[in-house]
């Protein structure tokens, strides 16, 4: 893919990186980019070589949200919002771990895009805002579902109704950010985290991620049934046998493949 494309996809050692690449617009996403992101995420979902995804923005910004000025205004808003929703769902439902590397602004859909990831690593200069009401709009990109589950209902109302801009430390305190790192350290930190995750057993990671995502909307009995079904899948992989053998032998963790053992 051309490095001048508005969205750049690269892969290395099982780590796939999606870079929003319009730094002059703080990586605001226009109509065409939503379609590109959907196609990329669908491709990643079906790529057996991808073990981890890193989502980032170029040029010292993560994403300023949807680019309203560049969007097609002769189109009804329903299909436009459907495209945004398609990206939100595809990102949240990726079977592999997803790391949002947030440097600079993450506003509106850009803020909720970060929240849809499994981990958010923010630089010390990152800023977050549910900016929608300042534009006369209500939340999108799954924010009405994601935000209260992460920060609680009252804090979600504070962020959504006041459209405050909060710094990385405040976002970390609220649970929106997993780690905060100095600007000069964030690249190395995210790379190390991605490699740690890529070395984990992929089927077990996928099952655990799915259980946690589904668990927030179900009761304990259903969660336990889902856990049993997932564990049966794990037992049927080479990874479970290799991990158990390494535990008994007190040897180094094995190379996990995710291969079916039956």
In this structure, the answer to whether residues 114 and 217 fall within a common structural domain is no
In this structure, the answer to whether residues 46 and 105 fall within a common structural domain is yes
Q: Residue 44 in contact with residue 95, Cβ under 8 Å?
A: no
Q: Can you give the pLDDT at residue 4?
A: 84
In this structure, the answer to whether residues 190 and 207 fall within a common structural domain is no
Does the pTM exceed 0.85? yes
In this structure, the answer to whether residues 89 and 183 fall within a common structural domain is yes
Has residue 162 been placed in a domain? yes
For residue range 30-49, what is the model confidence (pLDDT) as tens digits?
988 999 999 999 999 999 99
From 163, 180, 198, the end of a domain falls on 198
In this structure, the answer to whether residues 214 and 100 fall within a common structural domain is no
Q: In what order do the strands lie in the sheet with 105-107?
A: 105-107, 127-129, 165-167
Q: Rounded distance, CA 154 to CA 152, Å? A: 6
What CATH number corresponds to the domain at position 69? 3.90.226.10
Q: Rounded distance, CA 208 to CA 113, Å? A: 21
For residue range 204-240, what is the model confidence (pLDDT) as tens digits?
999 999 999 999 889 999 999 999 999 999 999 999 9
Has residue 259 been placed in a domain? no
In this structure, the answer to whether residues 39 and 155 fall within a common structural domain is yes
In this structure, the answer to whether residues 15 and 86 fall within a common structural domain is yes
In this structure, the answer to whether residues 184 and 208 fall within a common structural domain is no
In this structure, the answer to whether residues 70 and 118 fall within a common structural domain is yes
> How many domains does the structure of the chain reveal?
2
In this structure, the answer to whether residues 121 and 244 fall within a common structural domain is no
Residue 139 has pLDDT above 90, yes or no: yes
Has residue 42 been placed in a domain? yes
Q: Can you give the pLDDT at residue 70?
A: 61
Has residue 64 been placed in a domain? yes
What is the average pLDDT score of the chain?
A: 94
The Cβ-side half-sphere exposure at 43, using a 13 Å CA radius, reads 12
Q: Which domain holds residue 227?
A: 202-249
The Cβ-side half-sphere exposure at 147, using a 13 Å CA radius, reads 26
Q: Can you give the pLDDT at residue 104?
A: 96
Residue 1 has pLDDT above 70, yes or no: no
In this structure, the answer to whether residues 102 and 232 fall within a common structural domain is no
């Amino acid at each position: 893919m051309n490095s001048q494309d508005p969205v750049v996809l690269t892969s290395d050692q099982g780590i796939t990186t999606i870079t929003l690449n319009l730094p002059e617009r703080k990586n605001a996403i226009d109509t065409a980019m939503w379609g590109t992101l959907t196609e990329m995420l669908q491709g990643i979902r079906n790529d057996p070589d991808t073990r981890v995804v890193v989502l980032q923005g170029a040029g010292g910004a993560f994403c300023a949200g949807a680019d309203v000025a560049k969007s097609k205004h002769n189109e009804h808003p329903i299909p436009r919002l459907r495209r945004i929703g398609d990206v939100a769902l595809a990102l949240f439902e990726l079977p592999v771990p997803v790391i949002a590397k947030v440097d600079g602004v993450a506003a509106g859909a850009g803020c909720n895009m970060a929240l849809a990831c499994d981990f958010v690593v923010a630089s010390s200069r990152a800023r977050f805002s549910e900016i929608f009401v300042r534009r006369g709009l209500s939340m999108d990109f799954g924010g009405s579902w994601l935000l209260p589950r992460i920060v609680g209902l009252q804090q979600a109302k504070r962020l959504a109704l006041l459209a405050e801009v909060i710094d990385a430390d405040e976002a970390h305190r609220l649970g929106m950010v997993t780690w905060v790192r100095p600007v000069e350290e964030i690249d190395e930190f995210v790379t190390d985290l991605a490699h740690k995750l890529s070395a984990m057993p992929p089927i077990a990671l996928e099952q655990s991620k799915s259980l946690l995502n589904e668990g927030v909307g179900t009761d304990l009995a259903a969660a336990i049934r889902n856990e049993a079904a997932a564990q049966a899948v794990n037992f049927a992989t080479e990874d479970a046998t290799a991990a158990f053998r390494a535990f008994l032998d007190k040897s180094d963790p094995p190379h996990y493949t995710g291969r079916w053992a039956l």
